[in-house]
Homo-oligomer: A and B are copies of this chain.
Amino acid sequence: MTYEFWYWNGIPGRGEFVRLALEAGGIPYRECAREPGVQASDLVADMTADRDSPPFAPPYLVAGDMTISQTANILLFLGERHGLAPADLAGRLWINQIQLTIADMVAEAHDVHHPIASGLYYDEQKAEALRRAGDFRGQRMPKFLGYFERVLARRGDWIGGGDRWTYADLSLYHLVDGLLYAFPRRMATLARDYPGVMALHARVGGLPELRAYLASGRRLPWGDGIFRHYRELDAG
């Protein structure tokens, strides 16, 4: 089955967590919103169509007669069906737990530049963003990264343990990649303290399964999405 995958065009966003799993897993999919002639309004029309399990927001995946949304939920599905996570109960729940913790940090990284309202421009909430960025750099980044470091120290090369990546490893790669883009000075300082996390980032970035994708135009560049680089929000 070729899945139909929907996410806003132009930014990696939360859709990229799903794309990495599809690509690394060698799973056929259509990137519907980036096909010729498709507009953002077509995505909205598809998303709000009458169906059993409507999405609240993109990303979502159409798999036959199922529509599956929420990033972690899509990955739970792909992980089970395509062997991108351990098959046993404990392993499956563990990978979902890490994915949800990654999602929490992603939401906080977004709110650094949009602490008041996602519907307002950054310039309309810049004063608040400066305050929130200080807390994120000082408190939240070490707390989350320290947790992932501890996880990898316990589990080894991959979050699930064993000798193969899971979708949570791909997601942690993307999270760290986003942090390196948005907070290069802060990450230069923190990298010393979290060598396991940085090694995971390098390891996933070098996966043969991802080589063609990462070199392709399908891997969208960072920009005005969840992770944004504003010089004034970063500091060592």
Asked if A115 contacts B128 (CB within 8 A), the reply is yes
Which of B72, B119, B151 is A54 in contact with, Cβ under 8 Å?
A: B151
Chain B's closest residue to A132 (CB) is: B116
User: A135 near B151 (CB under 8 angstroms)?
Assistant: no
The interface size of chain A toward B, counting residues with CB under 8 Å, comes to: 42
Contact: B93 with A68, CB < 8 Å? yes
A63–B188 alpha-carbon span in the complex (Å)? 40
The interface bits of chain A over 45-75 (1 if a CB of B lies within 8 angstroms of the residue's CB, else 0) are: 0000010111110000000011011101100
Asked if residues B73 and A93 are in contact (CB atoms below 8 Å), the reply is yes
Instruction: Tell me the smallest distance from the CB of A132 to a CB of chain B, in Å.
Output: 5
Residue A90 CB within 8 A of the other chain = yes
Residue of B nearest to A64 (CB): B90
Known contacts A73-B93, A93-B66, A151-B54; A117 and B135 CB within 8 A of each other: yes
Given contacts A76-B93, A77-B93, A115-B116, contact A100 B70 (CB under 8 A): yes
In the complex the two chains form, is B93's CB within 8 Å of A116's CB?
Answer: no
B100 touches A119 (CB 8 A): no
Q: Which of A54-111 contact B (CB under 8 A)?
A: 54-56, 65-66, 68-70, 72-73, 76-77, 89-90, 93-94, 96-97, 100-101, 104, 107, 111
Residues of B near A93 (CB, < 8 A) are: 53, 66, 68, 73, 76-77
Query: A106 vs B107: C-alpha distance in the bound complex, in angstroms?
Result: 13
- The complex places the Cα of A65 from the Cα of B128 at a distance, in Å, of 44
Annotate A103-137 by CB proximity to B: 1 below 8 A, 0 otherwise. 01001000100011101100001001001100100
The answer to whether A147 touches B56, judged by C-beta atoms less than 8 angstroms apart, is yes
Among B56, B96, B147, which residue has its beta carbon within 8 angstroms of that of A73?
B96
User: A185 within 8 Å of B by Cβ?
Assistant: no
| Interface bits A131-154 vs B (CB < 8 Å: 1, else 0) | 110010001000010010011001
Task: Point out residues on A near B: beta carbons under 8 Å.
Answer: 50, 52-56, 65-66, 68-70, 72-73, 76-77, 89-90, 93-94, 96-97, 100-101, 104, 107, 111, 115-117, 119-120, 125, 128, 131-132, 135, 139, 144, 147, 150-151, 154
